[in-house]
Amino acid sequence: MSNVSIPKGTRDFGPDVMRKRNYLFAVIRNAFIQYGFEPLETPAMENIETLTGKYGDEGDKLMFRILNNGEILEKAKSSETNNSLIKNVSEKALRYDLTIPFARYVAMNRVTLAFPFRRYQMQAVWRADRPQKGRFREFYQCDADVVGSNSLLNEAELIAVYLDVFKSLNLNVEIRLNNRKILAGLANLIGAAERLTDMTIAIDKLDKIEWSGVKQELEKANFTSEQIAKIEAYLSIKGTWKEQIAQLHTIGLASDEQVAKGIAEFEEVMRLYQSMCGTNDSIVMDLTLARGLNYYTGTIIEVKAKDVAMGSIGGGGRYDDLTGIFGFPNMSGVGISFGLDRIYAVMDELNLFPQEVVSATKALLIQFGGVAEPVCLNTVRQLRMNGIAAEIYPSAEKIKKQMEYANKKQIPFVILIGDTEVAQEKVILKNMQSGDQQLLSLAELIQALKN
């Protein structure tokens, strides 16, 4: 049994990684709280009927189902099809995202909640996707949503949350903004309203397969060359957001009611953000942004890191009817999501995690035993009571072994208290990086480590 392993697509997060992840969680949570978002956690498992049919056929297939207790075989013998057997032996599945459980929670608690309801949720989700680089079967989502308000101020505030978080993380980002109504209007104008999803899925791939690839996709989806030419004209629009809006007018797109509405919403979000934060320089209009498979109906948002090649590190948007599927209709919502794994990867690549995240313990007390023991024990206690994370090696092993432990854990200081120091009522503080040693009183030691 020495050949132990974990399920493919899952990960252990050891101390070094966890400290960095906890740092990201703390920064994101802090911003959510600053903006009045309230914490929510939902169970890992939901009833099957809560989840199925919400994520397309693909989603239903990729859900991790929980086996009921009891006699499967009996049920199998009397069961006609695999699907009916699955229903017989499994009534629960693991959460696939945080949005559907959130909608389910809002519908169940509609009477007691204060609307507009602003909630944040940071929990794991599970998908039986084929594991590959950067894609996992268990991963965290960090979402903030407002439900029960049409006001575009919510969009402006969520963009501010993004920019505050990434400023705290020292990560240069650009917010890309578009509006699904502009895309819906485009589909309208070219007589392909019912093929909006085909169109957005194709447009969504522009980053990866360039225009020639998107064109082929559109041809495959039976768009005419005239329609494709208009889509190309739309996707070719460049410039500042004001210039792009001017061009939407010039090429006649803004004559469509939906497009006009999308433009007006876009302008209002920009105005509100500017009014709140003094500038909207970090926000660009990206008419090629589509967020293909999603249920968005208004503003759509994506965050890109500026100093590194990486897909979006966050995204979100407005959806008109979040809770209707659970019998609570006409609740408009808007939300954003932080891509934790990708943010982690970018921060790591750019070396942006602060030094204090690398090791939590500030100092290790080396044990010599004997008369020094009670002094050592009292010293570690005093450090902790002064808010300094400190350890004492649990037994008087060889000093080399204790030093190696400090090195391996990247503890920046060790404290040595031998018989001489006890007699002097002093301690030696050694900086593990520089090798410098200081002879200090307890009060001086606390001061030195508190910085």
Among 174, 201, 350, 405, binds its own copies (CB under 8 A): 405
- Comparing CB distances to its own copies, the nearer of 34 and 240 is 34
Token pair, residue 334, equals 């808007």
For residue 35, the one-letter residue type is Y
Contact set for its own copies, span 105-144 (CB under 8 A): 105, 107-109, 114-116, 118-119, 124, 126, 128, 138
Q: Binding residues for its own copies, how many (CB under 8 A)?
A: 109
> Reduced to 3 states, what is the DSSP secondary structure of residue 91?
coil
List the beta strands (DSSP E) in 214-321. Answer: 283-285, 299-305, 314-319
At 130, list the tokens: 């084929």
Residue 263 C-beta: closest distance to its own copies, Å: 21
Q: Considering the complex, state which of residue 230 and residue 318 has its C-beta at the smaller distance from its own copies.
A: 318
SS3 146: strand
52, 59, 97, 149: which one binds its own copies (CB under 8 A): 149
Min CB(279)–its own copies separation in Å: 11
The residues, any chain, with a CB within 8 Å of residue 420's CB and separated by 6 or more, are none
Min dist. Cβ of residue 417 to its own copies (A): 14
295 makes contact with its own copies (CB under 8 A):
no
By the 10 Å C-beta count (0-12 exposed, 13-18 middle, 19+ buried), 83 is classed as exposed
The tokens describing 387, both together, are 């808010």
Dist CA 213 CA 228 (whole Å) = 12
Q: Smallest gap, in angstroms, from Cβ of residue 367 to its own copies?
A: 8
Per CB under 8 A, 435 contacts its own copies: no
Minimum distance between the CB of residue 121 and its own copies, rounded to whole angstroms?
9
**E strand segments, 111-256:** 117-126, 138-147, 173-179
Assess contact for 179 and 258: CB atoms under 8 A.
Answer: no
* Near its own copies in 248-287, by CB under 8 A: 272, 275-278
Residue selected from 132, 212, 355, 395 as contacting its own copies according to rule CB under 8 A: 395
Which CB sits closer to its own copies, 203 or 336?
Answer: 336
Q: Find the distance separating the first CA and the last CA of the chain, reported in whole Å.
A: 48
Tokens of 165: 């978080």
- Chain-centre distance of CA 69, in angstroms? 34
Question: Least distance (Å) from its own copies to the CB of residue 166?
Answer: 15
In the complex, what is the shortest distance from the CB of residue 152 to its own copies, in angstroms, rounded to a whole number? Answer: 8
The verdict on 66 binding its own copies (CB under 8 A) reads yes
- A 10 A CB-CB count for 400 gives 8
Q: Give residues 161-180 in contact with its own copies (rule: CB under 8 A).
A: 164
Residues 359-388 that bind its own copies (CB under 8 A): 360-361, 364, 373-374, 377-378, 380-381, 384, 387-388
* Alpha-carbon torsion, ordered 282, 284, 288, 290, to 10 deg: 60
The answer to whether residues 317 and 296 touch, using CB atoms and an 8 Å cutoff, is: yes
Position 234 contacts its own copies (CB under 8 A): no
Asked if 240 and 281 count as a contact pair (C-beta separation under 8 A), the reply is no
Does 25 help bind its own copies (rule: CB under 8 A)? Answer: no
Q: Which among 149-157, 195-203, 339-347, 433-441 is the span making contact with its own copies, rule CB under 8 A?
A: 149-157
Residues 3-22 that bind its own copies (CB under 8 A): 3-7, 10-15, 18-19, 21-22
Q: Which of 228, 235, 267, 326 binds its own copies (CB under 8 A)?
A: 326
What minimum distance in Å lies between the beta carbon of 134 and its own copies? 17
**Cβ distance 364 to 415 under 8 Å?**
yes
Select 116 or 298, whichever has its Cβ closest to its own copies: 116
Smallest distance from the beta carbon of 2 to its own copies, in angstroms?
3
Nearer to its own copies, 126 or 234 (CB): 126
Stretch that binds its own copies, among 35-43, 174-182, 185-193, 298-306 (CB under 8 A): 35-43
Q: Which residues contact 61 (CB under 8 A, 6 or more apart)?
A: 128
d(CA 109, CA 144): 18
CA 113, 45, 331, 301 torsion: positive or negative? positive
Is 41 among the residues that bind its own copies (CB under 8 A)? Answer: yes
Is residue 61 near its own copies by the rule CB under 8 A? yes
Residue 1 neighbours by CB distance under 10 Å: 3
